[in-house]
A and B are shown apart, each in its own frame.
Chain A
Amino acid sequence: MAVIVYTLAFVGGFCIMSLELLGGRVLAPYFGSSIYVWGSIITVFMLSLSVGYLLGGRLSLHHPSLGRFALIFLAAAACLYPLVYFSEAIMTWIFGQVADPRYGSLLASSILFILPTVIMGMISPYSVRMLVRTTTHSGHVAGVLYFVSTLGSALGTLATSFYLVLWFEINTILTLLTAALLAMAAIAALATRWVASGPAVTAETTVPSGKTA
């Protein structure tokens, strides 16, 4: 099961940074490529991730399972994909309402990116809960998990800025990211068949959680 959870975390990290980089290109036609456009995007992503961490940790308290984990990916995909269809109309509306491109870009990145990013932010803490067996190893598990998900983020940044934008349209890349999230949801859902029960342990015990993948 550990391999599955690490894969989910890796892909989550990849999608977050790929989306952040695309954000700059999505906003540029309406708000320019001035430094404050990147400022808006990074602010919104950081805030959203921080809220996502909080919510993901909270969610992991109630019957954590791969099945519920799959739902997180499903929700992320559902919040990401509408960008393909609605971002133009939303930005056109904001462009007409807000004259200052600083606040225009802040508002636009909020409306476009908060939801998918909050949900993708939930992946990391939930992964920790799925993996931790003992308090002794909890720091180690968290360390490996950050390593894997941040590696995914690095690769998402690199792949998007070096290659994906050279090969594909922005909307195609957004669709691919949605597909990747859906694939992860499917993997997590299928894995529940093999992993009979989730890690039904409390932080203080060392009882193994039945079968592991």
Chain B
Amino acid sequence: MMLRIAPAVLALAAALASAAPAHARIIHEERSLYSTILVNEQGPVRCLQFSIRRDQRNQSCVNQRRPKEMVFAYARMVMTGLLLEPEPRRILILGLGGGTLPMALNELLPEADIDVVEIDPAVVRVAREYFGFAPTERVDVFAQDGRVFVKRAAAQGETYDLVILDAFNGEYIPEHLMTREFLEEVRSLLGGDGVLVANTFSISDLYDHESATYAAVFGEFFNLRADNTGNRVIITRPGRLPPTDVLAERAAALQDTVAPYGVDYDELLGLMSTEPDWDPDARILTDQYSPANLLRSR
């Protein structure tokens, strides 16, 4: 019963948190090279925000009474990637935010080596100071541009079992992280059977262009869309996607482990689809053509 109610409660919490209501108390504010970083707190929920605009969504939230619980739908959706690769040994995460994902994955998979790439050193500081994130022997943080890190790692023949793209901060989309060439570099990091999980966009024209680009590089992918939050998570890998009964089997085996994080695999598997629901003729984004920010506003 608890498990059934939990998603509804979480959805409500996310809705409340993402609206950043006026009575949320701002406990830290700083202007960095790349954005304005705000930390706000409302009751036990502490959130990271990248804009001074009140209507701007929060990036990352932690409920300090239940610190494991993932407040945001997209973070829980990302955990679905573990159903394609239950035991990744090397994990790459582009985009740190409040550090929710690397901390959860480090707890769940203490043997895994996790590399986090975050362009903004100020975000790394804030994550440490306000969200309890700390690099460890297993968790390394690199303060640099994600594209440069990926290109160099690919050139050096590195591979990861799980790559998570979460480098989008809402206001501005790094356009060089959405192109066919970038996804090809990521694919080469995945070796033969690594898994890619990308937190992306579900609204505006950009949805069609982005979907067509992922399809051009990876072929089929699992598409997870949460109706209410505007989030969309893409999960795929270079080879064939596993059949759904394999995923269901792994979900059953993992459910108890991920339950403390608020992850409900039954619900998430229900969101998964491989059915193309985008315009297949949408122009593919490339290094030569990547006006993502202009397309989003249409």
Distance in angstroms from A21 CB to nearest chain B CB is 12
Known: A28-B175, A34-B119, A165-B294. A101 touches B288 (CB 8 A): no
Best-surrounded residue of B151, B174, B288, B290 (most CB of chain A within 10 A): B288
Best-surrounded residue of A28, A31, A101 (most CB of chain B within 10 A): A28
Distance in angstroms from B166 CB to nearest chain A CB is 17
Give complex CA distance A99, B144 in Å.
12
Give complex CA distance A170, B176 in Å.
13
User: Is B100 in contact with chain A by the CB < 8 A criterion?
Assistant: no
A-B contact count (CB 8 A): 60
Best-surrounded residue of A32, A35, A99, A168 (most CB of chain B within 10 A): A32
8 Å CB interface, B120-150 against A: 144-148
| Contact for A30 among B34, B148, B290, B291, CB less than 8 A | B148
Give complex CA distance A170, B181 in Å.
14
Give complex CA distance A29, B174 in Å.
11
CB pair A25–B144 under 8 Å, yes or no, is no
Q: Chain A residues near B1: list those with CB within 8 A.
A: none
User: Is A212 in contact with chain B by the CB < 8 A criterion?
Assistant: no
Dominant secondary structure of chain A at its interface with chain B: helix
Number of interface residues of B (CB under 8 A): 25
Distance in angstroms from B248 CB to nearest chain A CB is 39
8 Å CB interface, A12-67 against B: 25, 28-35
Best-surrounded residue of B152, B286, B291, B295 (most CB of chain A within 10 A): B291
Give complex CA distance A95, B156 in Å.
12
| Contact for A29 among B155, B287, B294, CB less than 8 A | B287
Best-surrounded residue of B175, B289, B294, B295 (most CB of chain A within 10 A): B289
Name B146's closest neighbour in chain A (CB-CB).
Answer: A32
CB pair B291–A29 under 8 Å, yes or no, is no
User: Is A89 in contact with chain B by the CB < 8 A criterion?
Assistant: no
CB pair B288–A32 under 8 Å, yes or no, is no
CB pair B288–A169 under 8 Å, yes or no, is yes
Known: A29-B151, A33-B174. A171 touches B288 (CB 8 A): yes
User: Is B265 in contact with chain A by the CB < 8 A criterion?
Assistant: no
Give complex CA distance A35, B175 in Å.
15
User: Is B246 in contact with chain A by the CB < 8 A criterion?
Assistant: no
Name B119's closest neighbour in chain A (CB-CB).
Answer: A34
Distance in angstroms from B118 CB to nearest chain A CB is 12
Encoded as 1 (CB less than 8 Å from any A CB) or 0, chain B from 50 to 89 comes to 0000000000000000000000000000000000000000
CB pair B176–A28 under 8 Å, yes or no, is yes
CB pair A32–B144 under 8 Å, yes or no, is yes
Give complex CA distance A171, B289 in Å.
9
Give complex CA distance A165, B291 in Å.
6
Name B287's closest neighbour in chain A (CB-CB).
Answer: A29
Encoded as 1 (CB less than 8 Å from any B CB) or 0, chain A from 164 to 176 comes to 0110111100000
Give complex CA distance A101, B295 in Å.
28
CB pair A29–B33 under 8 Å, yes or no, is no
Known: A28-B175, A29-B182, A32-B176. A95 touches B151 (CB 8 A): yes
Listed A/B pairs (8) with beta-carbon separation below 8 Å? A25-B290, A29-B176, A29-B179, A29-B287, A95-B152, A96-B155, A101-B144, A162-B294
Query: Which 10 residue pairs of A and B lie closest in terms of their CB atoms, listed nearest first?
Result: A32-B145, A169-B288, A28-B176, A166-B291, A32-B148, A29-B287, A166-B294, A165-B291, A169-B289, A170-B288
Q: A-contacting residues of B (Cβ < 8 Å)?
A: 33-34, 119, 144-148, 151-152, 155, 174-176, 179, 181-182, 286-291, 294-295
Known: A33-B176, A34-B144, A35-B34. 8 other contacts (CB 8 A): A25-B175, A28-B147, A29-B147, A29-B287, A30-B151, A32-B144, A32-B147, A170-B289
